[in-house]
C-alpha cells in the first residue's frame, strides 16, 4: 500500500485529483452509498431543483457493470496517460494554464451534454484532453492493434471509429473531438497560424491561485515543432501500452 501511495503522489496535481476523484465517486455510486441517478447530468434536476453538483459528478462518475467495467478501465488508462503527459510536458511549470484548459473543456462538455442529452461526461472529457495531446504531438508514430502504425493525429478518430463498430455508439467521443479541437484551434492554430487574436487567455486570478513555477522547459501557447520530413523519430517518453501492447521505442496502444 505504501508503494501505491508513493506512486499516487508522483502524479501531477490536477491529474492526480481528477484520477483519484473519478475512482472514488464511481465506487461510491457502484456500492450505492449515493444513488447513481443523483450523479448524472439531467436538465430538470439541475435547473429546477438546483442540484448544482451534477455537472461535476457527471464528469467523475461512470456506472460500473460487467458490460462497462472494461471500458471504465480503458478510460482510466487514457485519463492517467494523456492528462499526465500534458500537465508534465506542455504545461510544465504553468499549473494555472492547465487548469484553465480543463475547465474550458469541462464547461463545453456540460453545455454539449445538456443540449444533446448526454448524461455522462467522462468519455467526452477524456477524449478532448487526448485530442489536444495528439495535436501537439501529431507526428509521433503510434502503434495500434495488430501492429498498425500511424501518426498520433489520427488516434482520436480511430478510437471514435472503434467505439462505433464495437458498441454502436460514438456521440460522446465525437463531442470530445469537437471540444478538443475548439480549444486547440482557439489557443494555438488561430492566433499562430492564421494571425488572429488570442481568444483563450488564462484569467489573472488563476495565476494568483496557482502561480507559474520556475524551471519549466516549454512555453505555454507554443506548439512543438514538427520533426523533419523523412526523418521521423519516435518519442520514447510519449508512449504507453494499450491492451498489453509493446512499450519502448514506439508509442503503443
Q: What is the pTM of this model?
A: 0.82
pLDDT at 26 over 80: yes
What is the separation of C-alpha 173 from the centre of its chain, rounded to a whole number of angstroms? 11
Q: Give residue 1's pLDDT.
A: 59
Tell me which range, 50-54, 87-91, 149-153, 197-201, is most confidently predicted by mean pLDDT: 50-54
Q: Give residue 57's pLDDT.
A: 97
Number of alpha carbons in the 13 Å side-chain half-sphere of residue 52? 1
Q: Give residue 219's pLDDT.
A: 39
Q: Give residue 196's pLDDT.
A: 81
pLDDT at 86 over 90: yes
Position with higher pLDDT, 34 vs 249: 34
CA angle 29, 33, 39 (to 5 degrees): 40
Q: Give residue 238's pLDDT.
A: 36
Closest CA to 25 of 60, 64, 49, 50: 60
Per DSSP bridges, beta strands 141-143 and 251-252 are parallel
Q: Cite the beta strand spans of the chain per DSSP E.
A: 141-143, 149-151, 251-252
The CA distance from 145 to 244, in Å, is 10
**Total number of residues shown for the chain:** 253
Q: Give residue 233's pLDDT.
A: 34
Q: CB of 100 within 8 A of CB of 202? A: yes
The residue-averaged pLDDT of 19-30 equals 96
Q: What is the mean pLDDT of the chain?
A: 83
Question: What are the pLDDT digits (tens) for 163-189?
Answer: 888 777 789 999 999 999 999 999 998
Percent of the chain with pLDDT over 70: 83
Q: How confident is the model at residue 62 (pLDDT cuts 50, 70, 90)?
A: very high
- Lowest pLDDT segment from 19-33, 91-105, 147-161, 217-231: 217-231
The residue-averaged pLDDT of 86-113 equals 95
pLDDT at 161 over 70: yes
The residue-averaged pLDDT of 39-58 equals 96
Question: What are the pLDDT digits (tens) for 214-251?
Answer: 754 443 344 444 444 333 333 333 333 333 333 333 44
What are the residue boundaries of the structural domains of the chain, listed by start?
Answer: 2-211+236-252
The residue-averaged pLDDT of 97-109 equals 97
Q: What is the CATH number of domain 2-211+236-252?
A: 1.20.1540.10
Percent of the chain with pLDDT over 90: 60
Q: In the sheet that 141-143 helps form, which strands lie side by side, from edge to edge?
A: 149-151, 141-143, 251-252
Q: Give residue 195's pLDDT.
A: 81
DSSP bridge pairs for 143: 149, 252
Amino acid at each position: 500500500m505504501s508503494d501505491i501511495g508513493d506512486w499516487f503522489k508522483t502524479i501531477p496535481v490536477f491529474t492526480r485529483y481528477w484520477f483519484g476523484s473519478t475512482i472514488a465517486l464511481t465506487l461510491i455510486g457502484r456500492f450505492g452509498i449515493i444513488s447513481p441517478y443523483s450523479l448524472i447530468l439531467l436538465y430538470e434536476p439541475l435547473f429546477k431543483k438546483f442540484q448544482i453538483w451534477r455537472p461535476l459528478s457527471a464528469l467523475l462518475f461512470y456506472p460500473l457493470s460487467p458490460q462497462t467495467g472494461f471500458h471504465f478501465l480503458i478510460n482510466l488508462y487514457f485519463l492517467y496517460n494523456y492528462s499526465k503527459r500534458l500537465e508534465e510536458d506542455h504545461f510544465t511549470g504553468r499549473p494555472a494554464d492547465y487548469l484553465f484548459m480543463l475547465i474550458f473543456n469541462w464547461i463545453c462538455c456540460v453545455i454539449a451534454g445538456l443540449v444533446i442529452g448526454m448524461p455522462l461526461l467522462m468519455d467526452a472529457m477524456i477524449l478532448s484532453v487526448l485530442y489536444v495531446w495528439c495535436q501537439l504531438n501529431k507526428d509521433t508514430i503510434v502503434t495500434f492493434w495488430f501492429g498498425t502504425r500511424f501518426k498520433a493525429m489520427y488516434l482520436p478518430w480511430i478510437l471514435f471509429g472503434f467505439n462505433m463498430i464495437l458498441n454502436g455508439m460514438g456521440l460522446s467521443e465525437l463531442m470530445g473531438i469537437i471540444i478538443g479541437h475548439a480549444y486547440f484551434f482557439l489557443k494555438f492554430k488561430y492566433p499562430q497560424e492564421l494571425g488572429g487574436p488570442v481568444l483563450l487567455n488564462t484569467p489573472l486570478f488563476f495565476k494568483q491561485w496557482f502561480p507559474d513555477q520556475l524551471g519549466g522547459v516549454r512555453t505555454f501557447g507554443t506548439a512543438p515543432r514538427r520533426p523533419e520530413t523523412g526523418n521521423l523519430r519516435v518519442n520514447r517518453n510519449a508512449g504507453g501500452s494499450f491492451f498489453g501492447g509493446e512499450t519502448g521505442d514506439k508509442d503503443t496502444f
